[in-house]
Amino acid sequence: MIESTQLATFGAGCFWGVEARFREMDGVLDAASGYMGGDVSDPGYEAVCSGTTGHAEVVQLRYNPEQVSFEALLARFFEMHNPTTLNRQGPDIGSQYRSVVFFHSAEQAAAAKQFITNLDQSGRWPQPVVTEVEPAMPFWRAEEYHQRYLEKHGRGACSI
């Protein structure tokens, strides 16, 4: 039996903790750290960290929608970072650390926008959510030393 898979891509600051948190979810088949949203082909970590490429640090998920819904992924995404701080997560500052959902379908775009509306209306955050919702662009996988970083180096390396 071939299982159904879909892609989801999220930026919530430093990708190390984001990748680790998503890997904990049933139905997430793979999570890869990388870069999306910029205008430079195949950017490297130093270029992205300079803030000049337009890329965000992201995690791209391959998931089984029969085991985990996109809405459940959104819930995890919004619980793991502060979506009201523009271009900043904890000590990481710059557009490469922006809060962003890169959608892979019209359904994902609608779900993300509705989730943000509901979150704003809930009063959970005193400030409005600034998470961007953008169409997916080419995904550039980060260097291998970034993949499963917290598994290799321990959770003390990241605040998420």
Any idea which residues carry the catalytic annotation? 14
Give the residue among 67, 56, 77 at the shortest CA–CA distance from 8.
77
Q: Looking up tokens 């359904």, which residue turns up?
A: 107
**Residue 154 exposed, middle or buried by CB count within 10 Å (0-12, 13-18, 19+):** exposed
The C-alpha atoms of residue 52 and residue 32 are separated, in whole angstroms, by: 22
The C-alpha atoms of residue 87 and residue 74 are separated, in whole angstroms, by: 19
Helix or strand run (H / E) with residue 19: helix 15-23
The C-alpha atoms of residue 134 and residue 137 are separated, in whole angstroms, by: 9
